[in-house]
Amino acid sequence: MSFLAPLEPVDYLVIGHVTEDLASEGPRLGGTATFSALTAHALGLRVGIVTAASERTPLQALDGIPIVRAPSSHTTTFENIYLDGARKQIVHHPAARILFDVVPDAWRTSSIIHLGPVAQELVSQLPKYFSSSMIGVTPQGWMRTWNDAGEVVPCKWESAETLLPQAGAVVISRDDVNGDEELIESMAHQTRVLAVTEGPAGSVLYWNGDRRRFHAPQLEEVDATGAGDIYAAAFFIRLYKTHDPWEAARFATQLAARSVTRVGLESIPTQKEINECLMEVF
């Protein structure tokens, strides 16, 4: 286990793999842990990351954020191949699983615990250890697996019935469930708050038996990578601060929409964008 900064209590803890995303210019740091942590940091929170990755993977882009890196021979690496407008995703060398015992004592009572698996790396028992915190879940990594060739394919979220009732809020994308409205409705009935992101269309929020759509501003899309993770972090944080899911969804939708106008980690919100989005919701 490695510590890249002195450990102190944090407000926002994200647990999941940082990734290397293969791009034409070379590997780029990515993953829910990366994008959500940097967004929470931009929003002024004290942030920590618990991950598993190879020591060979540079994490300088996360300077200023303390990281606990569990030992792993590899870093989870994704490759996206586009053919005729369709995306095929390949996972190379998935990193080790992340267990509760690597989470520092000082971080186990963080105000917000974000469980952000990308490659089946988290065990379903994790939430019970954080009962005093708000648990935010982005279950994408539990809803996909890969075949012998590494091609990513959808799968059933086996721990859904256990985790959905324990979560303070859940964020998925419509793509995570292949647009299955029946499955979305079922998930909404099992958890307190469910947000469904829909790319340029914005997001839909299910809460207290109600359903509302939040439209995104139409901006030129350059790179949508990480937009869902930026949405999730913004949503969890505003929900924790305001206890108002509708306000949280409006803010997160606005902020995520702005992120697609830039490439990679450049999409992390600026202070100007954060201020603009806060004004939009009041």
Give residue limits of the domains in the chain. Answer: 2-280
**What global pTM score does this model have?**
0.94
pLDDT value at position 58? 93
SS3 readout for 24-75: CCEEEEECHHHHHHHHHHHCCCCEEEEEECCCCCCCHHHCCCCEEEECCCCC
Q: What residues contact 187, with CB distance under 8 A and at least 6 apart?
A: 160, 164, 170, 172, 177, 194
∠ CA 231-235-241, rounded to 5°: 150
Residues belonging to the chain: 282
Can you read off the two tokens belonging to residue 42?
């931009």
Residues facing 21 on adjacent strands:
28, 78
Which band of pLDDT confidence, cut at 50, 70 and 90, is reported for residue 50? very high
Which band of pLDDT confidence, cut at 50, 70 and 90, is reported for residue 86? low
Cα(17)–Cα(35) distance, integer angstroms: 11
Q: What pLDDT, in 10s, does the model give residues 266-281? A: 999 999 999 999 987 6
Tell me, what DSSP letter sits at residue 217? P
Cα(23)–Cα(81) distance, integer angstroms: 10
Which band of pLDDT confidence, cut at 50, 70 and 90, is reported for residue 5? very low
pLDDT value at position 107? 95
Can you read off the two tokens belonging to residue 226?
């990480």
Three-class SS of residue 95?
Answer: coil
7 pLDDT more than 90: no
Fold of 2-280: UDP-N-acetylmuramoyl-L-alanine:D-glutamate ligase (3.40.1190)
Lowest mean pLDDT among 5-14, 147-156, 163-172, 206-215: 5-14
Query: Which amino acid is it at 11?
Result: D
Cα(12)–Cα(231) distance, integer angstroms: 15
